[in-house]
Amino acid sequence: MRRGAALAMSFLLLGAFMAKPAKAQVSSAALEAASQAILGNPKVIKALDDIKADDANAFAEQKRIAEIPAPPFKESVRGSYVLQRFRELGLKDAAIDAEGNVIGLRKGSGPGRPKLVISAHQDTVFPEGTDVSVKEKDGVAFAPGIGDDARGLAALMSLLKAMNANGLATAGDVMFVATVGEEELGNLRGVKALFRDHTDIDGFISIDGMGIARVVNQGTGSHRYEIIFSGPGGHSFQEFGLPSAIHAMGRAIAKISDLETPAEPKTTFTVGTVRGGTSVNAIAAEARMAVDMRSDSTEELLKLEARLLGLVKQAVAEENARWKTDKLTVEIKLIGDRPAGIVALDSPIVQATQRSVVALTPTQRVKFAGSSTDSNLAMSLGIPAVTIGGGGEGGNWHSRSEWYRPVEAWLGPQSALLTVLTLSGLDGASKPTLAVRQK
């Protein structure tokens, strides 16, 4: 029981590290009682130890997952593997929904509410045909998607394994989900389908990222556009004097690059891809670019959007004016819309997450952050949500040189375990702290 005493002592240090809630939705006494009961429970202590002891197996699982290609809109092979593992780990009724999400419900001992989702995403940003083989050197694993989000899926399975192996029954239902469409132009299609089809979800946790001290409680909103410039085209010499789609796009990019955005709330933009033209000696009839805009503030995002799209139209007008014509046009297509949202620091889901982190690593301060993840959708619907790290260290996300090092990686699924139990309630030990959502 010395492990339990140590965890309880860590919990007593929370006062020095916890963000001060503006107005508690669940009393401090209720959260403290739930946390103390969970941290001192012999089954929980055993489950935490099992997660640490199983760390090497979890890392091996992570590498297996990373080597299963999951390009945007083509996650089915990885989804089939995740479904197999969910069933092997105890979710016998797990299934793949119409969108491609893998869903398994772990029933609670109560009437089913509150219902909490714990998830990770299947897809990567890498196109079909990318070499996803894992290469290791000096304790570091290199592979596209090895951390984002193969680690999240491995942590999800480690959590499920520990809960079932130790007979940890929750009061509320816990839904394990491996989503599709989190990356790139997936546009959160997985979680959008999840919340469309399951209207009784009361809370949402996404495992996405590394270190557990970083907790995402703010969903960074994003708008993405494909912008298509079109003109008559022609021979570069014989038809000289016609407007060029590429020249218009170049004017637009130059104007966009000079935009200034606020540092707080963080607001960003980039022209991510460009293409166009048919030949070096032809006036381009078409050019396309894809633009990404993000902000922690919906208001600032809309301001940026208005300015940027206005500059695009101005560039087209200038290209037409340069050649005294009106033959060049532009089409602006919205291809990505991720809503912004925020969960208050006094929310039970944020407080439970923070308490779990500090109980496991009492010397660390939790850093709250904004990011664009599956949690955005839940936040925008007013559903309590956070995104937490899966444990370990990593970098070079969204590149073919992505890397991961399993340093204290077990802390990810351990933190998820404590958070899930605090929110859903541990049968016979604590009541749920996650409220049933009012429709």
pLDDT tens figures, 243-290 = 999 999 999 999 999 999 999 999 999 999 999 999 999 999 999 999
Helix ranges restricted to H, 286-369: 298-322, 348-360
Residue 30 CB burial class (10 angstroms; 0-12, 13-18, ≥19): middle
Residues 6+ apart with CB under 8 A from 121: 149, 152, 178, 179, 180, 181, 182, 183, 190, 206, 208, 374
Is the model more confident about 44 or about 185? Answer: 44
Structure tokens of 130? 């990318």
Q: How many CB atoms lie within 10 A of CB 16?
A: 9
pLDDT tens-digit readout, 211-232 = 999 999 999 999 999 999 999 9
Residues 6+ apart with CB under 8 A from 146: 62, 63, 66, 134, 394, 402, 403, 404
Helix, strand, coil tally for the chain in percent (to 5):
35, 25, 40
Domain parsing of the chain, residue ranges: 2-220+340-424, 221-338
The CA distance from 26 to 95, in Å, is: 34
Q: What is the mean pLDDT of residues 336-347?
A: 94
Q: Note the pLDDT of residue 112.
A: 78
Residue 56 CB burial class (10 angstroms; 0-12, 13-18, ≥19): exposed
Q: Note the pLDDT of residue 25.
A: 64
pLDDT tens-digit readout, 132-164 = 999 999 999 999 999 999 999 999 999 999 999
pLDDT tens-digit readout, 359-418 = 999 998 999 999 999 999 999 999 999 999 999 999 999 999 999 999 999 999 999 999
The CA distance from 82 to 65, in Å, is: 8
Structure tokens of 397? 């996300």
Q: Note the pLDDT of residue 184.
A: 83
Residues 6+ apart with CB under 8 A from 127: 71, 72
Which of helix, strand or coil describes residue 134?
coil
The CA distance from 372 to 146, in Å, is: 19
The CA distance from 260 to 262, in Å, is: 7
C-beta separation of 192 from 300 below 8 A = no
Q: Note the pLDDT of residue 185.
A: 87
Give the H or E element holding residue 415. helix 411-424
Give the fold, CATH level 3, of 221-338.
Alpha-Beta Plaits (3.30.70)
Residue 393 CB burial class (10 angstroms; 0-12, 13-18, ≥19): middle
C-beta separation of 216 from 325 below 8 A = no
Structure tokens of 295? 């902000």
Q: Note the pLDDT of residue 250.
A: 98
Q: What is the mean pLDDT of residues 302-328?
A: 98
Sign of the dihedral defined by the CA atoms of residues 90, 96, 100, 101, in that order: negative
The CA distance from 359 to 345, in Å, is: 18
End-to-end C-alpha distance for the chain, whole angstroms = 43
Q: Note the pLDDT of residue 14.
A: 40
Residue 199 has pLDDT above 50, yes or no: yes
pLDDT tens-digit readout, 11-30 = 433 443 344 333 446 777 88
Q: Which has the closest alpha carbon to 392: 140, 122, 156? A: 140
Give the H or E element holding residue 55. helix 55-66
Q: What is the mean pLDDT of residues 300-320?
A: 98
Q: Note the pLDDT of residue 238.
A: 97
Query: Whole-prediction pTM value?
Result: 0.87
pLDDT tens-digit readout, 33-82 = 999 999 999 999 999 999 999 999 999 999 999 999 999 999 999 999 99
Least confident of 23-37, 315-329, 420-434: 23-37
The CA distance from 397 to 162, in Å, is: 28
Q: Which CATH number fits domain 2-220+340-424: 3.40.50.1820, 3.20.20.140, 3.40.630.10, 1.10.150.20?
A: 3.40.630.10
